[in-house]
Structure 1
Amino acid sequence: MKKYILTLIIVSCIAFPLPLASADSAREDVSADAVQKAVQSTAAKEPAAKQAGKTKDKKESKDDNENIDEIEKARQALQYGLESEIAEVLNKIDKQDFESLQEDFVRLFQTTRSAAIREGLFALYQKYENAQLADAAAGVVEDYGTQQRTVIKAALAYLAAVKPAMNSSLREALQRLLTEETAEYGAEAITVLGAIGSEDDAAFLAEYFETFTMDDTKQELIVKQTIAAALEKIHSDNIRGFLLERLEDENENVYVRSSALAGLAQMKNADTVPLLVSFFEKPEPLLREAVMRGIAQFDTAETRALTLQAFRDSSYQVRLAALQAVQKTKQTDAVPYVLYRAKYDPTEAVRLSAVETLTKLNAPEGNTWLKETFCDTKKGEKLRVAILRAVLQEKSSLLNDDLEPIILPTITDAKQKQLRYSFGKEIAKSDSTAVLGVGKAFLQSDDALTKSIGLDMFKTNRSAELRPLVEAIAQDEKQGTLQRRAQRLLE
C-alpha cells in the first residue's frame, strides 16, 4: 500500500513539480519501475500536445488564408502560381476584377513563356471585348512562323472580336496566312479581314476566291463560304459585280449565294429591292433568310409587305430574320404578326425573339400581353424571365409596378428558388431605380446565393439606398466570402 501511494506521488511530481525537499524525501522509497512508468506516461502525452499544436497552427494558417483579400489571392496566383492556378484565375474572373487586375494581366502576358496562359489571356480579353492586347495579338500574327498553332488561332479569334484598326503590317500578315497556310489558318484569317478590312481587302478576297483550289474539297468549300461571309460584312461597291455573279450562278453553293445576296442588299442600292423580292420565291430557306437580312436596309411598301409574308414562312430561320428586320425598321404594322409568333410559334428561339421585338416596338397591344404574361404565375418561367430581360434591356418602365409584387414572394418561397435566382440575375444587370426594392429584399435574405445576387445588384447601380445593407454584410464576420465581397464593393 505504501509503495502504491509513493508511486502516485512520483507521477504527480513529474506532472506538477513539488518543492525540492518533498521530492527528495519521497524518492527514497520509489522503485525504478515506478519512475520508468511515470516517464513513459509523460512521454506519451508529448506527441499529443505537439499534434494539438500542429492542428492549431494549421487552423490559424487556414484562417489567415481565408482573410487574404480575394483580389490579392488572384494577384499572387498570377505572379507566383502554377499554370493550372493561373488558368483557374483566368476562367473565373469577373468584370470588376478584370479591370482591377489589368496591370497584372499585361505583365503576365509580357513575361510568360506558356502558350496555354497566353491563349487564356487572349480568350479573357476577348470575353470582355478589351482591345489592350490588340498590338500583342497582331504581333503574334505577324510573326506566325515562330508561334505555336493554338496561340495563333487564339490571337486571330481575339482580333476578329475586338476589331482593332487595320494597318499594313497586319494586312500583309493576314494575307500571307491565308495564301501560305490556307488549310491551317485560312478561315480565321479571312474572318479577321471581314471584321476590319476595307475595299482593298474585299478586292483581294474576291480575287482569291476565284483563283485558289485545295485538294480537300470540303475544306475548300469552307474557305469559300468564309470568304463570302466576310465580303457580306465589308459589302464594298468595288465587288458588286463579283457578288452578282456568285448570286446568279445556280451551281454555286447556297451559303455563298446567300451571303452574296445579303452583301448586295447592304450596299443599299434601290435596284436591289426587285432582286430581293424575286429571291424570296426561291425554294432554299437560306436564300429567303438572306432576303430578310438584306430587307432591313430598305423601307418601301414592297419590302414591308415582304417582311409580313416572312412571318408565315415554314423555316424558323426566316421567321427569326424577319423579327430582326422589324427590330431595325420599327415596322409597327407587324405588331399583330410578332405577337402571334410570341404566343404560338413552335420554335422557342422565335418566341423569345418575338418577345424582344415587342419590347422594341412598344405598341399598346404588345405591351398589354407582355405585362399580363409576366404577372401570370401559370406561364412558363423561361418566358417570364425573357420578358423581364427584354424590358430591362430596353430601359422600359412597363413592368415597374409589377416588379416587387411578382418577385418579392419568390424570396421567401423555397419552391420558387430557381425563378428567384433567374429574376435576380436579370435585375442585377439593371441600374433602374425601380429595382431597388427588390435589391433590398435580396440583400436581406438568409440564402447565400440570393444575398450574393443582391450584391450584384449593388455593383451595377451603386445605389445609396442599398449601401447600408451592403455595409452591414461587410461588417458581419459570419458572412464569410460574402463579407469580403461586400468589403471590396465598398472600396
Structure 2
Amino acid sequence: MKRKFLIAAVSLIFAFAWSQESSAPEVIENVLSESENSQTQSSALDETVSEETLQNSAPEIPDASLPENAASKIPDERETENYDAISGSQPSESIKFKYTREKIHPADARPKKHDTSKNYIDRSKNYEKNCNDILKYGLEGQITELIDELTKNQDNRFVDGIYDLFQETKSVAVKEKILEYFTKLKDPCLASYAVEIINDPYDEKNSIVEKCFKYISEADIKDANPGLVDLVDKEEDAYFTGALSALGETGGREEALFLADYLDRDDLNVSQRQALMRVLGRIKAVETWQKISEIAKDENENTFVRMYAAEAIGAMEKPESEDILVELFESNDPNLRTYVIKGISYFNDKKSSDLITQALRDSQYKVRLEAVSAVGKNRINNAVPFLIFRCKDKDEQKQVKEKCYSVIADLNTSEGNDYLISVLKDKKIGDAAKAKVSAALLEYNHAGTKEVIELARSALKSDIQKNLRYALGKEFAKYDRSEFADICAEYIASDDVATQGTGLDIWAKGRYSSVKAAVEEIAKDAEEEVLPEEKEKPKGYQFGAKKKNANAKKAKRILEQS
C-alpha cells in the first residue's frame, strides 16, 4: 500500500516539477528524504509506546527521594479483584468469590460399631433370627415394615445386614427406607452412594435425592459440599432448596463465601431468599453479617426474608447484633418479633434476658411461645414467676401453658416445682392439664414423682378418670425406674383390659422382678387349650366357657422378649 502511494506521489511531483521547470531528480530526492524521516519517526514512536506499556504492566517502584504521597500508586490487580465479604463491598459486579473445591467420591465404608448393649424393646433370640430372615428372604413390604420398626426404635443390631441389603437391592422403596434408617442413626456408611447421587442427581427419582439431602445433613457428610454448591449454583427448582438446606448443616467458610454472592442477586424468588437467610445463619457465615443485618433492618424488604435475616444475625453471635435485634423488636409485625426472639436467644446476657422476659408479655401468643422456649434455652430462672403467671392466666393459649409446664420443670426452681405439684392436687384443674404437668415432672425427674404416682392411684379407683389413668400409664412406660414397680403392679391387677395392657407396657420397660409373676399368670391364658367337655358343646354355646384374657398374647410376647 505504501509503495503504491509513493509511486502516485512521485508521479504528481513529476508533473508539478515539469510545470515549474524544476529539476526532477532534485524534487524526487527531497520527497524520498521526507518519507524516510516520517517512517523513522513512526518507528521511534512505536518503540516509545511499547516501552511505556511494559513499564505500566509492572507495579511502579516509587522514587525514594520523593515524598511518600508523591509516588503515583499503581493498583494491585489482586487487590481490585478481592471480594470483601466482611464489609460487604464489592469492587465490580463481575467479580465474585470463586468456589474452587472439586467434586469428590468418598470411599466405601462399613457401618460404625454401635453400642449393642442398649435396652432394646425385644431382646429375644427369636426376634433377632426373625429380623435377619426377613432382611435376607422377605418381600419388599415385609422389609420396609421391619426397617420402619427398627428406625423408630433406633435398633442398631442389624446395621450390617441392612447395609448389605442396600448394596444389592433394586427396590427404590427399600433403598429409601434404608436411607431413613441410617439417617436416624447418623451413620455415614452410605456417604459414597449419597455423594454420587448429589454430584449427578438427574437420572434419579426426586424422592431418592431428597432422602440423600436429609441423610447428608444428619450424618454431616462434608464431602458432598462441592456437589451441593453446584446444585445451588444451577438454581434448579427441584434441587435448590434441598441442596441449600443441606449446606446449612455441612457447609463451612468457603461455602459461606460462595453463598454470600447470592445476597446481591435480583433473580432469586422470595422462598429462595428465605432459605438463603436461614442457611447463612445456620452455618454462622459472619462474612455476610453486614449485608444480612441491612436486610433485617430494611422495612421495604419482604417480611419473611427479614424474619430469617433477624434470626441469622443472632445465630452469628456478633455483639453488634443485639442492639439491632432490640430495635427490631419494636416492629408491629408479630412474625418479625418472634424471629427477633429466636435470634437474640443466641446471646445469654442481661440485654437478651431483659428482652426475652419482656416478650413473655407480648400481645401475640406466638411471640410469647418463642419467649418461653428462650427462657428454657438460656436458663433464665428469674423468669419463672412470669411463666407461672402465664399458666394461671385463664385466657392464655394451651400451647403456651404446656410449654411453660415443661420449662418450669426443666429449670427446677423451688418456686416452680411447688407450683407444678400444686396443680396435681388442685381439684379445680382439669385432668388434661394434670397429665401434661405430670409428663413434664417425670421427664426431668427433679421433683413430683411421688405426687404423680398418687395421682395415678386415685385415677385407678375412678372410671371417670380413665383418660388420666391411661395418660399417666403411658408416661410411666417411658422410663425404667424402680419407684414405678408398685404402680405397675396396680395397673396389671386392674379388671379393665386397657388399663392392664398399659401395666404390661410399664413392666416391659422396667422388668420389675416383683411384678413378673403377675405377668406370667396373664400369659398362661395364651397357652391353655379349651377343655374336652367344652369342645362337645354346640358351637354357639358359651355358657360356662372360660373367657381368655385379652392381654394374654401380649404378656407372653413381652416375656419372650426378656
TM-score class, shorter-chain normalisation, is 0.7 to 0.9
Is 1:380–2:408 an aligned residue pair?
A: no
Asked whether the equivalents of residues 195 and 233 of structure 1 are also in contact (C-alpha less than 8 Å), the reply is: yes
Asked whether the equivalents of residues 373 and 384 of structure 1 are also in contact (C-alpha less than 8 Å), the reply is: yes
Closer, same or farther in 2 for the Cα pair 1:359/1:132, shift >3 Å? farther
* Paired position in structure 2 for 1:52: none
Is 1:166–2:222 an aligned residue pair?
A: yes
Counterparts of 1:443 and 1:101, CA distance in 2? 33
Counterparts of 2:348 and 2:156, CA distance in 1? 42
Residue deviations 1:181-208 (CA, integer Å, cap 9, x gap): 6200111111111122212222222223
Is 1:106–2:160 an aligned residue pair?
A: no
Displacement, 1:358? 1.2
* Paired position in structure 1 for 2:329: 280
1:211 to 237, 242, 265: 265
Asked whether the equivalents of residues 69 and 484 of structure 1 are also in contact (C-alpha less than 8 Å), the reply is: no
Counterparts of 2:220 and 2:419, CA distance in 1? 43
SS of the aligned residue for 2:312 comes to helix
Closer, same or farther in 2 for the Cα pair 1:149/1:271, shift >3 Å? closer
Is 1:118–2:191 an aligned residue pair?
A: no
Written as runs of structure 1 = structure 2, the 5 A alignment for 1:11-90 is 69=126, 72-90=129-147
* Paired position in structure 2 for 1:259: 308
Counterparts of 1:453 and 1:140, CA distance in 2? 45
* Paired position in structure 2 for 1:296: 345
Q: TM-score, normalised to structure 1's length?
A: 0.75
Residue deviations 1:132-190 (CA, integer Å, cap 9, x gap): 54554334323423422211112212333x242412xx111111222336200111111
Displacement, 1:353? 0.7
SS of the aligned residue for 2:363 comes to coil
AA in 2 matched with 1:356: S
Written as runs of structure 1 = structure 2, the 5 A alignment for 1:338-487 is 338-344=387-393, 345-376=395-426, 378-396=428-446, 398-411=447-460, 413-445=462-494, 449-465=498-514, 477-478=526-527, 479-487=552-560
Displacement, 1:475? 6.7
Asked whether the equivalents of residues 424 and 452 of structure 2 are also in contact (C-alpha less than 8 Å), the reply is: no
Asked whether the equivalents of residues 520 and 555 of structure 2 are also in contact (C-alpha less than 8 Å), the reply is: no
SS of the aligned residue for 2:450 comes to coil
Closer, same or farther in 2 for the Cα pair 1:366/1:447, shift >3 Å? same
Asked whether the equivalents of residues 520 and 559 of structure 2 are also in contact (C-alpha less than 8 Å), the reply is: yes
Displacement, 1:229? 0.9
Closer, same or farther in 2 for the Cα pair 1:323/1:438, shift >3 Å? same
Counterparts of 2:280 and 2:472, CA distance in 1? 41
* Paired position in structure 1 for 2:72: none
Is 1:322–2:371 an aligned residue pair?
A: yes
Closer, same or farther in 2 for the Cα pair 1:472/1:331, shift >3 Å? same
AA in 2 matched with 1:339: I
Is 1:232–2:281 an aligned residue pair?
A: yes
Counterparts of 1:482 and 1:228, CA distance in 2? 53
* Paired position in structure 2 for 1:137: 194
Displacement, 1:362? 2.3
AA in 1 matched with 2:237: A
Counterparts of 2:134 and 2:495, CA distance in 1? 32
Asked whether the equivalents of residues 476 and 483 of structure 1 are also in contact (C-alpha less than 8 Å), the reply is: no
Closer, same or farther in 2 for the Cα pair 1:449/1:103, shift >3 Å? farther
Q: More relative contact order in 1 or in 2 (CA 8 Å, sep 6+)? A: 2
Counterparts of 1:477 and 1:134, CA distance in 2? 47
Q: TM-score, normalised to structure 2's length?
A: 0.66
Displacement, 1:265? 2.1
Displacement, 1:420? 2.2
Displacement, 1:442? 3.4
Is 1:180–2:234 an aligned residue pair?
A: yes
Closer, same or farther in 2 for the Cα pair 1:250/1:78, shift >3 Å? same
Asked whether the equivalents of residues 122 and 158 of structure 1 are also in contact (C-alpha less than 8 Å), the reply is: yes
Q: Report how many aligned residue pairs link the two structures.
A: 414
AA in 2 matched with 1:81: G
Is 1:201–2:293 an aligned residue pair?
A: no
Closer, same or farther in 2 for the Cα pair 1:191/1:446, shift >3 Å? farther
Displacement, 1:227? 1.2
Residue deviations 1:317-341 (CA, integer Å, cap 9, x gap): 2111111121122223312211121
Bigger mean CA offset, 469-478 vs 414-423: 469-478
1:241 to 264, 270, 290: 290
Closer, same or farther in 2 for the Cα pair 1:432/1:487, shift >3 Å? same
Closer, same or farther in 2 for the Cα pair 1:299/1:115, shift >3 Å? closer
Counterparts of 1:130 and 1:408, CA distance in 2? 43
Counterparts of 1:450 and 1:137, CA distance in 2? 46
Residue deviations 1:198-233 (CA, integer Å, cap 9, x gap): 12222222223433726xxxxx22121111111121
Displacement, 1:376? 3.6
SS of the aligned residue for 1:402 comes to helix
Q: Which structure 1 residue ranges, 5 or more long, are not aligned?
A: 1-66, 215-219
Closer, same or farther in 2 for the Cα pair 1:223/1:471, shift >3 Å? farther
Counterparts of 2:488 and 2:412, CA distance in 1? 26
Asked whether the equivalents of residues 295 and 301 of structure 2 are also in contact (C-alpha less than 8 Å), the reply is: yes
